[in-house]
């Protein structure tokens, strides 16, 4: 390699490193501003937009055990009314939750390692914690948001032909549970947004896969003509 080529290669490397450094600095600046906005919005929801009714309702909303009767009802309803297709619906339902949970944990939480607001010693003084303890798990993304928006999206896509506009109830339910995560002090709004987007993507995938292969006959848009 000639001296001219070496100089050219060196100049190219310096240019690349300079560009990379500038992009990294820009990304860091954007993230700092985004994080400050996220913390500000958290404080508004957790400490300012509050009332005694929500203080009682929101901790109940976010507790997974409280929704077991609803899950059991959906299982029994699907099996009694749709038999084998109901069993497939339940299986896809479970797959939706499993995917959002695994992707949220291993794809995001362990890579971003964001500390929860209630577990951050530099931010905890701003937190009004309404639950018994703060989870030691990482904050981004919220698995509550991912799981429930996954379920809500799957529910909407698979039941819309039957329930019409009422199929959005799954999204409303997911939104309330996700909002509760911020209200009680265990997640930032950005954690919820990330989890919701993940749930929407996974729920859309499983919902359309189910409809294409095992859609309920009662949900078909074409009427059945009996002879």
Report domain extents, the chain. Answer: 52-219
Mean pLDDT by 10 residues, the chain (227 residues): 53 55 63 88 94 94 90 90 88 95 90 90 91 87 94 93 88 95 95 95 95 66 41
Query: What pLDDT was estimated at residue 82?
Result: 84
Under 8 Å between Cβ of 227 and 177: no
Query: What pLDDT was estimated at residue 42?
Result: 95
Closest listed residue to residue 62, CA positions, set 147, 124, 137, 140:
147
Query: What pLDDT was estimated at residue 226?
Result: 40
Query: What pLDDT was estimated at residue 99?
Result: 96
Largest CA distance in the chain: 89
Query: What pLDDT was estimated at residue 48?
Result: 92
Query: What pLDDT was estimated at residue 137?
Result: 84
Cα 61 to Cα 53: distance, rounded to the nearest angstrom: 12
Please list, in sequence order, all residues whose beta carbon lies within 8 angstroms of the beta carbon of residue 115, skipping any fewer than 6 positions away: 138, 139
Does this model's pTM top 0.85? My answer is no
Query: What pLDDT was estimated at residue 136?
Result: 83
Query: What pLDDT was estimated at residue 207?
Result: 94
Cα 181 to Cα 149: distance, rounded to the nearest angstrom: 13
Query: Rounded to an integer, what is the distance from CA 28 to the centroid of its chain?
Result: 24
Cα 162 to Cα 83: distance, rounded to the nearest angstrom: 17
Query: What pLDDT was estimated at residue 91?
Result: 94
Q: Beta-carbon neighbour count of residue 107 at 10 Å? A: 12
Query: What pLDDT was estimated at residue 142?
Result: 94
Instruction: Dihedral sign for Cα 136, 139, 140, 141, please.
Output: positive
Query: What pLDDT was estimated at residue 163?
Result: 84
Cα 127 to Cα 182: distance, rounded to the nearest angstrom: 10
Query: What pLDDT was estimated at residue 111?
Result: 87
């Amino acid at each position: 390699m000639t001296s001219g080529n070496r100089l050219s290669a060196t100049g190219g490397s310096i240019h690349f490193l300079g560009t990379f450094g500038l992009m990294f600095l820009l990304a860091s600046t954007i993230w700092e501003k985004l994080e400050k906005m996220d913390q500000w919005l958290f404080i508004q929801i957790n400490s300012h937009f509050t009332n005694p009714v929500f203080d009682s309702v929101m901790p109940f909303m976010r507790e997974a055990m409280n929704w077991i009767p609803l899950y059991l009802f959906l299982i029994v309803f699907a099996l009694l009314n749709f038999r084998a297709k109901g069993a497939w619906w339940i299986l896809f339902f479970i797959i939706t939750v499993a995917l959002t949970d695994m992707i949220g944990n291993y794809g995001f939480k362990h890579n971003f390692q964001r500390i929860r607001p209630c577990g951050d010693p530099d931010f905890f003084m701003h937190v009004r914690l309404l639950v018994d303890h703060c989870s030691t798990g990482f904050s981004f993304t919220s698995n509550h948001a991912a799981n429930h928006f996954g379920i809500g999206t799957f529910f909407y896509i698979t039941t819309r032909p039957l329930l019409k506009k009422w199929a959005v109830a799954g999204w409303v339910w997911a939104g309330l549970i996700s909002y509760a995560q911020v209200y009680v002090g265990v997640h930032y709004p950005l954690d919820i947004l990330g989890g919701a987007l993940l749930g929407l993507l996974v729920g859309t995938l499983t919902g359309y896969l189910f409809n294409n292969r095992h859609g309920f006959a009662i949900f078909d848009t074409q009427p059945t003509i009996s002879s």
